[in-house]
């Protein structure tokens, strides 16, 4: 049983993971809100933790965890992982992207897959033969809605819809369908392109906004939001198994 801390762009996400099962997950706006003592009381078997971040320094969170008696692995670009990584600039690779790839290969058993993470940004990452090859990044759904409102004089700020229309007949509908169908067309374009060179690819969706696109794009495995947590947990266990001196 491990504690996984994923410091994202807007929230600090925390999960208690046992094997590949997420027993509890929570999100917090600041470091001060982290209930580490309460989690240790609720889950007394907690011994190890991993802290990963897409931007902020992990040191402050790691110190809090160590004060509560946890052995902590701070993930960096130098942290060993159980899959290959062909990214040319590993120091700039978001740990969430690599962790999702690790979970896809090691937990879901998908050695050839296209992983689409629908968050603040949309990442489309390719894994082939169990190796992370790289991918692309574009603005996420909420980012697109906000940009249309913030950078125009009269367009309203809109939100996701379950409705699927060929054309919008109001401005709200036009923005809703334009943003969401634009993302669908973008992802389907990637699927078509990548599968021309590798027909074995599985399609995996994850991230907070993935639920809006499962019905719009066929043949996707919906990994919910647990994929990154499970990947980070697997990286922690992998490093523990090789008795890495980071602990």
Contact 190, 209 (CB under 8 A): no
The strand pairing partners of 118, in sequence order, are: 122
Is-contact 100 115, C-beta < 8 A?
Answer: yes
The answer to whether residues 27 and 73 touch, using CB atoms and an 8 Å cutoff, is no
Query: How far apart (Å, rounded) are the C-alpha atoms in residues 116 and 106?
Result: 17
> How does DSSP classify residue 212?
G
Q: Which two tokens stand for residue 164?
A: 């699927």
Q: How many CB atoms lie within 10 A of CB 39?
A: 21
Instruction: Judge whether 112 counts as a catalytic residue.
Output: no
The tokens describing 211, both together, are 């639920």
Active-site hit among 6, 96, 112, 209: 96
Q: Which residues are catalytic?
A: 96
């Amino acid at each position: 049983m491990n504690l996984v801390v994923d410091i994202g762009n807007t929230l600090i996400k925390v999960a208690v993971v046992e094997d590949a099962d997420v027993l509890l997950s929570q999100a917090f706006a600041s470091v001060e809100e982290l209930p580490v003592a309460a989690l240790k009381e609720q889950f007394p078997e907690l011994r190890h933790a991993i802290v990963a971040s897409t931007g902020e320094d992990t040191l402050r969170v790691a110190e809090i965890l160590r004060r509560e008696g946890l052995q902590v692995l701070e993930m960096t670009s130098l942290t060993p992982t159980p899959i290959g990584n062909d990214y040319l600039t590993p120091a700039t690779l978001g740990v969430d992207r690599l962790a999702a790839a690790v979970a896809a290969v090691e937990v879901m058993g998908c050695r050839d897959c296209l992983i689409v993470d629908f968050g603040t940004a949309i990442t489309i990452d390719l894994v082939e033969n169990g190796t992370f090859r790289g991918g692309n990044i574009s603005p996420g759904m909420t980012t697109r809605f906000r940009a249309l409102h913030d950078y125009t004089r009269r367009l309203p700020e809109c939100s996701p819809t379950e409705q699927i229309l060929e054309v919008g007949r109001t401005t709200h509908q036009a923005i809703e369908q334009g943003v969401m169908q634009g993302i669908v067309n973008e992802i389907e374009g990637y699927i078509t392109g990548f599968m021309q060179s590798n027909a074995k690819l599985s399609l995996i969706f994850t991230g907070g906004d993935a639920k809006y696109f499962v019905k719009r794009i066929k043949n996707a495995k919906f990994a919910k939001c647990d994929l990154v947590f499970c990947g980070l947990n697997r990286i922690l266990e992998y490093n523990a198994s090789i008795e890495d001196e980071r602990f």
